[in-house]
Amino acid sequence: MAILLPEMARPPVTLLAEDERLFRDTVRSFAEEVIAPRVAAMDEAGRLDPDLIRNLFELGLMAVEVPDNYGGAGASFFASVLVVEELSRVDPSVGVFVDVQNTLITNSILRYGTDAQKQRFLPRLATELVGAYALSEAGSGSDAFALATRAVRDGDCWHLSGRKMWITNGGEAGLYLIFANANPAADYRGITAFLVERAAPGLQVGKREDKLGIRASSTVELILDECRVPADDVLGEVGKGYKIAIETLNEGRIGIGAQMVGLAQGALDHTVRYVQQREQFGHRVADFQGVQFQIAQMRTELEAARLLVYNAARLKEAGQPFRMEAAMAKLFASEAAQRISSRCLDLHGGYGFTREYPIEKFYRDAKIGTIYEGTSNMQLQTIAKHILR
């Protein structure tokens, strides 16, 4: 499934500094040489290859922003966005696996963790420990703060009880960032974030969802039955979990935007190659003006999505407000990825509808982009609030 891409289909280097371009190219080579040969088998099995997970750690892609004194790459948030984009260009399942680790888990600990928590978890997250973010429940999807999971203090421990749903990376994770309400009378102001290790008493990993797309990425249920969590493993302050959730999801949406940009780029790259090889009526498919116009339209939409994602990432790095821009990036990139992957499948004709070609997987994978980490309607609501404020 690995295809060397024509230079015209690649992102313009003028958007990147030299060191960023070199970093991107390193990740691109890894994706094409190491991930691409595994994509079909992982999708069929519905699981990531354990050897590939080890490769991701060894290359430093699971701790992009973690400082080197904790064993991480010590790079920037923008670098993590480039990583997610390039991995997703080959397999969006791998892209989201790395995205959750970087934009949600390590970022949360770097920002809100105590020195002891950083010393305890960051070196492991950089080398072998997978993290998962557990906010959603059956009754709290878009209404993220309608949590039924409860946390009750008992001496120097907390007891967590409830069920978490649709937890990305949950199958491989050894550490979960779990949100529970420690004071329901205070509504969302009682929500608290806990760092919970997989071996914690009372924690059980439930069923693994059988999904339409990003099948190699695990999505599981977590069952908490009086799960015992030491008081020292509260992340941030008791009652400040809602703030942690909001701020990390704002950053996470940029990561999902990058995943969708990478996905759309991958679909377009395969299609550009295909229409230049496939012949109909004695001509290459690429010679027909109608096809050329579709390719041009898709490339324009893709570049607009990429610029929105990069802009949001640059604003975040500069310490500027970026919540609206993150919502715009996630909204536009996810919807553009669906349009582009659908058009690309059409241009493959009957071949696109088979698993012989990779385009049908991009088409399936694209659907999740408008759903997780905030639906398109939620992004529109966020954008409108900022405009009308």
Residues 6+ apart with CB under 8 A from 42: 48, 49, 52, 91, 93, 215, 216
d(CA 355, CA 40): 9
Asked about 373 being catalytic, the answer comes back as yes
d(CA 169, CA 214): 11
Contact between 102 and 64 (Cβ < 8 Å): yes
Catalytic residue among 301, 325, 360, 373: 373
Nearest to 200 by CA among 170, 176, 235: 176
Structure tokens at 333: 């990139």
How many degrees, rounded to 5, is the angle at CA 336 between CA 289 and CA 274?
45
Token readout for 14 is 């003028």
* Short-list 18, 114, 110, CA closest to 64: 110
In angstroms, rounded to a whole number, what is the distance separating the alpha carbons of residues 251 and 94? 18
Sorted by sequence, the CB contacts under 8 Å of residue 243 that are 6+ apart come out as 236
Other CB atoms within 10 A of residue 292 CB: 13
Q: Which residues contact 183 (CB under 8 A, 6 or more apart)?
A: 189, 190, 239
Give the Cα separation of 158 and 191 in Å (integer).
Answer: 13
Q: How far apart are CA 138 and CA 163, in angstroms?
A: 8
Give the active site residues.
373
